[in-house]
């Protein structure tokens, strides 16, 4: 039984004094549910056709948000003095010549969409998970053990960084070490960005590899060990996808080496041919280390791979506008308030309007921007600058936010914090037997979450958590801090994630999943507007406090 002392009671009056001394954000009452409702009924209307990336309706939504920023007299800090942060997306189609030669062994494989085009031939090296993450002290390319004959009979082994990688074809496991370990240095049970295949390909290329082949980590996923798992990746599907698989152009353009997925059966045969006496399962288990695996040359094994993947680049854009800070020393620092304006388009006769996801966050950004603009008209400006952003292509992989971190408007080290609003208009509701879309979430009713909002990302920054909690004292929402290390993967499923991966304190304000999520029933008439007003006011207060406090939040050590 926990003991209770009387001493904390003496601190209550002091705490109350501290909270009352908080500067209430000016014009906070201008954030009104009626205004957000009117905006959302337009943005999430059938005529907007779900605001899918690279469609006329998506472009209309972008122009509409930009026009609102202009009317509010936000500073156009985008490209060419506009309200647009421009970038490119890439899509891929299969070229005519794609071959993998492994001697007489049959090769079950396919080139990946981000693969470079070209031919690589040479020796093969197994590189564990193929991850290079210096911030974690982890590197699968740190060196190989080679015999140093200078010491005669002792045959001392020494590290030779990358010596066995240059010009070789590397084989890397899918996923990451400790993927089921809540204490894993790779973001616990959340899939880390380091495990992304594009990032692994860039790491292999940086180490000098001529090509990279990925294989399933069958020690964790034994069901993927059989043959025939790779067929039909590029082939005609019974129902073609509604939209292409988009990739961030800035990443795609960095990858020049061939990249492919190969079957576990092929790798098992290569290991047997090398005569190392170890299976793919053995090597997978040995690769689950805290610092990285030693690259393992497969003696006598050579491959030749030719890939032809044709790339097409597509222009894309997010919307950005600025309230400039008043302090000469702090105005170059940014607080970012953001959401995303895209959604999933039309599926047959069903329009996926995305009222909650994320029309709600987009109109919240506009409403907060208006409060700042009204305050500025009366001479009340924050000390730091505040950037308002409506990201695009979030549903395609957080691509608008990732693009910003690749080419920020101001150096990322000048970004103090990010407050991301994505789905702020409903009550979390997890039904029984809800299926994989609710994986990892406890069954709960909408009524139990009538006043609740999830704040995701707080375990990365205690000081940012305290800012949000303080901002909520005058609002009275129930803050739930529960999904940062959860198999639902919510931690990585919205636009705060790219900023966390760049070392910037960031949180996702999120009222939670519900049965209408990503369905045609996510309509504006189902939004909890009084609650959305409270959330927008809380985010405004938190952003105002961040923009005016002397210090800045930090990531936890």
pLDDT of residue 229: 53
Q: Which of 257, 286, 307 is the last residue of a domain?
A: 307
Within a domain: residue 438? yes
pLDDT at 153: 33
In angstroms, the CA 443 to CA 430 distance is 5
Contacts of 360 (CB under 8 A, 6+ apart): 36, 40, 339, 421, 423, 424, 425, 426, 527, 532
For the entire predicted model, the pTM comes to 0.92
Instruction: Report residues of the chain scoring pLDDT below 50.
Output: 1-20, 144-161, 227
User: Do residues 186 and 292 lie in contact, with contact meaning Cβ atoms separated by under 8 Å?
Assistant: no
What are the structure tokens assigned to 415, written together? 């970004």
- 370 & 459 share domain: yes
| Rounded-to-integer distance, Cα 162 and Cα 159, Å | 9
Residues 40 and 150 in one domain: no
* DSSP 8-state class, residue 505: -
CA distance 88 to 271: 40
- The pLDDT of residue 150 is 32
Would 101 be classed as within a structural domain? yes
Per the domain annotation, does 420 fall within a domain? yes
Distance CA 263, CA 230 (A): 7
Taking the C-alpha atoms of residue 348 and residue 536, their distance in angstroms, rounded to an integer, is 34
Q: How many folded domains does the chain comprise? A: 2
Domain check: are 139 and 249 in the same one? yes
In a domain, 554, yes or no: no
pLDDT at 143: 56
**25 assigned to some structural domain:** no
Are the C-beta atoms of residues 496 and 504 closer than 8 Å to each other?
A: no
For residue 232, what pLDDT is reported?
67
What CATH code is carried by the domain that includes residue 420?
3.40.630.10
Contacts of residue 209, defined as CB under 8 A and 6 or more positions apart, other chains included, come to: 125, 165, 166, 167, 168, 169, 170, 257
What is the DSSP secondary structure assignment for residue 356, as one 8-state letter?
A: I
Look at residue 80 and tell me if it is in a domain.
yes
**319 shares a domain with 273:** no
pLDDT for 102 equals 86
Question: Are residues 246 and 373 both part of a single domain?
Answer: no
CA 283 to chain centre: 29
CA quadruple 191, 195, 196, 197: dihedral sign: negative
Please tell me whether residues 264 and 365 are part of one structural domain: no
Give yes or no: residues 200 and 277 share one domain: yes
* Order of strands, sheet of 478-480, starting from the edge strand that comes earlier in the sequence: 247-248, 84-94, 309-323, 385-391, 334-340, 415-421, 506-510, 452-456, 478-480
pLDDT at 312: 98
Model pLDDT, residue 193: 97
Of 268, 288, 307, at which residue does a domain stop?
307
Q: Are residues 299 and 319 in the same domain?
A: no
CA distance 229 to 237: 15
Measured in degrees and rounded to the nearest 5, phi and psi for residue 195 equal -85, -5
Verify that 337 and 217 share a domain, yes or no.
no
- State how far the Cα of 350 lies from the Cα of 328, in Å rounded to an integer: 51
Output the domain CATH number for residue 136. 3.50.30.30
Answer yes or no: do 240 and 280 share one domain.
yes
Q: What is the pLDDT of residue 230?
A: 62
Domain boundary (279, 307, 335) is at: 307
Residues 276 and 371 placed together within one structural domain of the fold = no
Residues 6 or more apart whose CB falls under 8 angstroms from that of 2 comprise none
pLDDT in tens, 172-225: 999 999 999 999 999 999 999 999 999 999 999 999 999 999 999 999 998 765
Residue-level pLDDT at 237: 63
Whether 26 is covered by a domain: the verdict is: no
- Which pLDDT does position 224 carry in this prediction? 62
Which residues touch 256 (CB under 8 Å, ≥6 apart)? 116, 118, 205
- Virtual CA dihedral for 159, 160, 166, 170, nearest 10 degrees? -10
Ramachandran angles phi, psi of 121, nearest 5°: -145, 145
Same domain, 447 and 538: yes
pLDDT of residue 29: 98
Say if 333 falls within a structural domain. yes
| 42 CB-near residues (< 8 Å, 6+ apart) | 48, 64
What is the per-residue pLDDT for 105?
A: 76
Q: CA 338, CA 388: separation in Å to the nearest integer?
A: 6
Question: Comparing C-alpha atoms, which of 41, 43, 39, 21 is closest to residue 31?
Answer: 39
Domain residues for 283? 97-307
């Amino acid at each position: 039984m926990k003991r209770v002392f009387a001493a904390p009671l003496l601190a209550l009056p002091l705490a109350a004094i501290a909270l009352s001394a908080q500067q209430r954000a000016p014009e906070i009452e201008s954030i009104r549910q009626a205004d957000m409702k009117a905006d959302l009924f337009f943005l999430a209307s059938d005529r907007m056709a779900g605001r899918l990336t690279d469609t006329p309706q998506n472009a209309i939504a972008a122009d509409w948000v930009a026009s609102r920023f202009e009317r509010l007299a936000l500073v156009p800090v985008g490209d060419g003095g506009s309200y647009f942060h421009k970038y490119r997306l890439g899509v891929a189609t299969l070229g005519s010549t794609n071959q993998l030669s492994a001697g007489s062994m049959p090769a079950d494989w396919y080139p990946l969409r981000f693969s470079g085009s070209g031919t690589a031939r040479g020796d093969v090296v197994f590189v564990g998970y193929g991850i290079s993450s210096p911030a974690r002290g982890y590197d699968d390319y740190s060196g190989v053990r080679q015999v140093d004959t200078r010491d005669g009979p002792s045959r001392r082994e020494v590290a030779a960084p990358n010596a066995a990688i240059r010009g070789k074809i590397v084989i890397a496991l899918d996923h990451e070490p400790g993927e089921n370990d809540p204490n894993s240095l790779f973001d616990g049970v959340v899939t880390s960005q380091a495990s992304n295949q594009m990032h692994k390909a860039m790491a292999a290329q940086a180490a000098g590899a001529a090509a990279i082949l990925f294989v399933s980590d069958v020690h964790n996923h034994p069901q993927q060990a059989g043959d025939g798992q790779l067929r039909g990746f590029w082939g005609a599907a019974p129902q073609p996808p509604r939209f292409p698989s988009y990739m961030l152009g800035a990443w795609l353009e960095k990858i020049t080496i061939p990249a492919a997925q190969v079957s576990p059966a092929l790798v098992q045969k290569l290991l047997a041919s090398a005569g190392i006496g170890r299976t793919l399962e053995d090597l997978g288990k040995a690769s689950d280390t805290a610092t990285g695996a030693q690259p393992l040359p497969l003696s006598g094994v050579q491959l030749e791979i030719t890939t032809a993947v044709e790339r097409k680049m597509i222009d894309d854009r997010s919307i950005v506008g600025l309230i400039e800070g008043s302090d000469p020393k702090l105005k170059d620092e940014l607080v970012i308030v953001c959401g995303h304006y895209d959604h999933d388009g039309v599926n047959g006769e069903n329009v996926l309007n995305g009222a909650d996801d994320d029309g709600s966050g987009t109109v919240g950004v506009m409403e907060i921007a208006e409060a700042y603009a009204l305050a500025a008209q009366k001479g009340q400006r924050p000390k730091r600058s505040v950037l308002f952003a409506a990201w695009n292509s979030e549903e395609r992989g957080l691509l608008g936010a990732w693009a910003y971190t690749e080419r920020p408007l101001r150096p990322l080290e000048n970004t103090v914090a990010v407050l991301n609003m994505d789905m702020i208009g409903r009550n979390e509701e997890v039904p029984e037997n809800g299926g994989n879309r609710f994986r990892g979430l406890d069954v709960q009713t909408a009524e139990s979450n009538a006043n609740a909002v999830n704040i995701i990302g707080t375990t990365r920054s205690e000081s940012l958590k305290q800012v949000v909690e303080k901002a909520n004292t005058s609002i009275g929402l129930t803050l739930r801090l529960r999904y940062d290390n959860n198999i639902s993967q919510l931690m990585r499923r919205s636009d705060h994630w790219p900023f966390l991966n760049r070392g910037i304190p960031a949180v996702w304000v999120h009222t939670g999943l519900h049965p209408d999520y990503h369905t045609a029933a996510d309509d504006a008439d189902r939004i909890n507007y009084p609650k959305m007003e409270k959330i927008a006011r809380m985010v405004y207060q938190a952003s105002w406090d961040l923009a005016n406090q002397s210090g800045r939040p930090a990531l936890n050590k």
